[in-house]
Amino acid sequence: MNARRPAEGAETPRSTYREALREGLREALRGDERVFLMGEDVGRYGGCFGVSLGLLEEFGPDRIRDTPLSESAFVGAGIGAALGGLRPVVEIMTVNFSLLALDQVLNNAATLLHMSGGQLNVPVVIRMTTGAGRQLGAQHSHSLEGWYAHIPGIRVLTPATVDDARHMLAAALDDPDPVVLFEHGSLYNEEGALDTAIRSVSLDSAAVRRAGTDVSVITYGGSLPKALAAAEELAGDGIDAEVVDLRSLRPLDDATVTESVARTHRAVIVDEGWRSGSISGEISARITEQSFYDLDAPVQRVCSQEVPIPYARQLEEAALPQPASIVAAVRQAVA
């Protein structure tokens, strides 16, 4: 990447999560003629969530391709393009629609390298919006990234910060294998400082977003701001929470998680997915397997209620992890 360090005294640039994603796409399109974006409404409409706004005018319809309403067809076309030597970025509007293309992801993208004896890489990046909290009803409010993290042969990323939104795409496009990138819908309008000195990001490493000594709060994606808000509230009561942003769900960075638990001796996992069969259960199991003797209390989990996500705002808020429920779980862990 051609990122430059700001001049001394210069103001640190700020960006929304949406703008950071757009700049990541723009940089990828400018830097490699093999890269193109395809999906529903990514062109003239600018993307359902405005991420690709203006890119059609800049790069033209061969590079920014509107597709028919058939997820199986256009994800399959993206896989074929990747096999043919291109670097497609496939946008699926929301995670629930990705189920219509799950056959393509699970049985083709994730397996072709193995089934071809290492001859066929599939360098496709599949982006989709995930998560609830925006009153979109039960069919458009899923958090299914844990399902995808179950699949060998793909990488699953969950950028939660402006910097990761800006820079993860380039690293994903450099990966010779399929990458599925989940963008939480509640983050698009979030604004933050953009570190222009970053030249590359790791796709394998979690990040400690807040250091602490009393409890490890482990989370990802749209739940990171809630975990940080909970940590600030807890600090007022003398509880020093460390917040770990997983960033990648496959592979999971066990080392950062276990190092954090070794420091704090307690763990609370925050996951917007449903509790049963969730990624939080996998993380809890790994902590138990690898850090059992470091724990001074049982691992706590804060997940969505096991109901279809309600439309009504108060009910939706009650169904999802919130700072208050994270605070309550931490208090139980440190009691």
The DSSP code for 105 is I
71 included as an active-site residue: yes
Q: Where does the pLDDT of residue 141 fall: very low under 50, low under 70, confident under 90, or very high at 90 and above?
A: very high
> For this structure, is 140 an active site residue?
yes
Question: How high is the pLDDT of residue 8?
Answer: 56
**Catalytic residue of the set 40, 91, 140, 265:** 140
Q: What is the pLDDT of residue 110?
A: 98
Torsion of CA 102, 107, 113, 117, to 10 degrees: 170
Task: Express each pLDDT in 43-75 by its tens digit.
Answer: 999 999 999 999 999 999 999 999 999 999 999
Contact predicate 163/21, CB 8 Å: no
Residue 1 has pLDDT above 60, yes or no: no
The structural domains of the chain, ordered by start, are 14-193 (3.40.50.970), 207-334 (3.40.50.920)
Residue 102 Cα to chain centre, angstroms: 18
Neighbours of 132 (CB within 10 A): 24
Among residues 40, 71, 145, 282, which one is catalytic?
Answer: 71
